[in-house]
């Protein structure tokens, strides 16, 4: 036998050569123990002896050669073309797992993922009340937030029986109520121009309360300032709080404002939106979330009408409208998520694409409130994205690599949000 016949033929120079590299196939347990894995399926010998679950890492391409990476990329492209050409008709129980090489990036496609069309993805108040351990506290009717709050609803009618008197509108007293409102409510929700508010209050005090929108706003400010004017009194129960003189006076202001809201229901504008939003804030402060949600919803309706009817608005009016809309939207959304008020639209978490602009001529003492306001909106948007993505991942059983990539990206966004905070001001010191 000739020696030439045993030699391999020389490689074809026209064919590309790749540095072939054997991909690591050891299971997770063998990798952590740093032992050799025999790659038996479904469980290797080491895992079988230890009696643990044998899991092979998926989606790790760090050790793949260029040829394998090119093949996987082409397969992903073909899969994408097939999905576009053939609409998905599978049920949630038969959803195909994503390809190993396809890793979700949170910065891509958030406008679609911000809307949830599935069932409730997290534990809210209504879900907690359905826990079996809480059923022992209920005899007949099911335990729900509406039933719990309805038990004390009769106590909220105390304001209807008390008429406002002249001492309630003393100039010194109302000045203190206005300051309480600014310190405890306006700083978190800057939806009212304080100069206009002070002018409306002076007009109401000197000329008497009218039945117009400025008088209604003044009464709501007085109600909020009264309900939060004394932090030293320790209230043990909600019943004690509702029987207090402070609550009765605040409720009288609110009832007087309610009597002026009827003519505002058919109007759309920033003033009407401010009135309904402040009403929602007062109702939330006094533990009436269902009524507050309706007020926030009405405030949003006023904002929508204001946009469609105003045409080209002035910059100042547009800034005010954006602030009211964002604040009402955030408050209404938070209540929907907690109380499961509606069936389908309750999980529509899509936020508008704009941020409210701070008012022109903003003084230095008001910057801190606006920084907090904008930071809270940004944090809410990030929370909605995480909630939407978590639900999407849970419904299709995403791979570990996809989950890790998403967590890292969300952590980077949270760190960027934290870095964007302004330096602490002396007002907080």
Give the tens place of pLDDT for each residue, 83-135: 665 554 444 344 343 333 333 333 333 444 444 444 444 566 777 777 777 76
Query: Which contacts (CB < 8 Å, 24+ apart) does range 375-382 have?
Result: 375/417, 375/420, 375/421, 376/188, 376/330, 377/326, 377/330, 378/417, 378/420, 379/417, 380/330, 380/333, 380/351, 381/351, 382/410, 382/413, 382/414, 382/417
What's the CA gap between 300 and 325, in Å, rounded? 6
Contact 345, 115 (CB under 8 A): no
Instruction: For residue 292, give both structure tokens.
Output: 């507050």
Q: Do residues 44 and 54 make contact, with C-beta atoms less than 8 angstroms apart?
A: yes
Q: How confident is the model at residue 217 (pLDDT cuts 50, 70, 90)?
A: very high
In contact, 402 and 393? CB cutoff 8 Å: yes
C-beta separation of 388 from 337 below 8 A: no
- What separation in angstroms does the CA of 183 have from each of 87, 176, 238, 242, 267? 55, 11, 24, 23, 30
| Confidence at 13, pLDDT banded by 50, 70, 90 | low
C-beta atoms surrounding 352 within 10 Å: 11
Q: Looking at the predicted structure, is the pLDDT value of residue 258 above 50?
A: yes
Weakest mean pLDDT among 109-123, 177-191, 205-219, 298-312? 109-123
Q: How far is CA 224 from CA 17, 217, 283, 298, 333, in A?
A: 77, 11, 10, 19, 22
CB atoms within 10 A of CB 192: 24
The confidence score (pLDDT) of residue 119 equals 47
pLDDT for 278 equals 95
Calculated CA dihedral for residues 361, 367, 370, 372, nearest 10 degrees: 180
> What is the pLDDT averaged over residues 167-196?
86
Q: pTM for the whole thing?
A: 0.55
**Per DSSP, what are the bridge partners of residue 27?**
56
Alpha-carbon distance values, 236 to 240, 242, 379 (Å): 7, 11, 33
For residue 220, the model assigns a pLDDT of 95
């Amino acid at each position: 036998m000739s020696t030439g016949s045993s030699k391999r033929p020389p490689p074809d120079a026209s064919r590309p050569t790749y540095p072939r590299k054997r991909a690591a196939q050891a299971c997770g347990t063998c990798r952590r123990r740093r032992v050799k894995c025999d790659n038996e399926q479904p469980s290797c010998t080491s895992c079988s002896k230890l009696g643990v679950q044998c899991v092979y890492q998926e989606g790790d391409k760090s050790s793949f050669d260029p040829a394998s990476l090119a093949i996987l990329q082409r397969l992903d492209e073909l899969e994408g073309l097939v999905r576009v050409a053939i609409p998905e008709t599978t049920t949630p129980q038969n959803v195909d797992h994503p390809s190993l090489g396809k890793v979700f990036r949170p910065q891509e496609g958030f406008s679609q993922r911000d809307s949830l069309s599935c069932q409730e993805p997290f534990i809210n108040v209504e879900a907690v009340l359905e826990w079996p351990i809480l059923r022992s506290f209920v005899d007949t009717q099911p335990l729900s937030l509406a039933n719990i709050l309805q038990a004390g609803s009769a106590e909220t009618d105390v304001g209807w029986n008390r008429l406002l008197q002249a001492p309630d509108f003393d100039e010194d007293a109302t000045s203190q109520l206005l300051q309480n409102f600014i310190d405890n409510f306006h700083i978190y929700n800057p939806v009212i121009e304080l100069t206009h508010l002070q002018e409306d209050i002076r007009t109401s005090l000197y000329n008497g309360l009218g039945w117009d929108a400025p008088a209604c706003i003044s009464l709501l400010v007085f109600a909020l300032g009264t309900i939060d004017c004394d932090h030293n009194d320790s209230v043990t129960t909600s019943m004690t709080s509702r029987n207090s003189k402070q609550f009765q006076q605040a409720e009288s202001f609110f009832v007087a404002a309610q009597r002026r809201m009827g003519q505002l229901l058919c109007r759309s504008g920033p003033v009407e939106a401010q009135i309904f939003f402040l009403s929602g804030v007062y109702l939330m402060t006094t533990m009436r979330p269902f009524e507050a949600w309706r007020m926030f919803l009405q405030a949003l309706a006023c904002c929508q009408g204001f946009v469609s009817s105003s045409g080209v608005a002035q910059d100042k009016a547009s800034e005010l409208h954006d602030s009211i809309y964002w604040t009402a939207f955030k408050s209404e959304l938070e209540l929907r998520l907690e109380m499961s008020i509606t069936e389908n639209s309750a999980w529509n978490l899509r936020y508008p694409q704009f941020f409210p602009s701070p008012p022109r001529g903003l003084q230095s003492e008001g910057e801190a409130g606006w920084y907090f306001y904008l930071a809270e909106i940004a944090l809410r948007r990030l929370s909605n994205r995480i909630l939407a993505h978590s639900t999407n991942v849970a419904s299709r059983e995403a791979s570990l690599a996809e989950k890790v990539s998403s967590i890292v990206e969300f952590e980077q966004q949270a760190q960027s949000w934290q870095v964007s905070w302004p330096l602490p001001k002396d007002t907080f010191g």
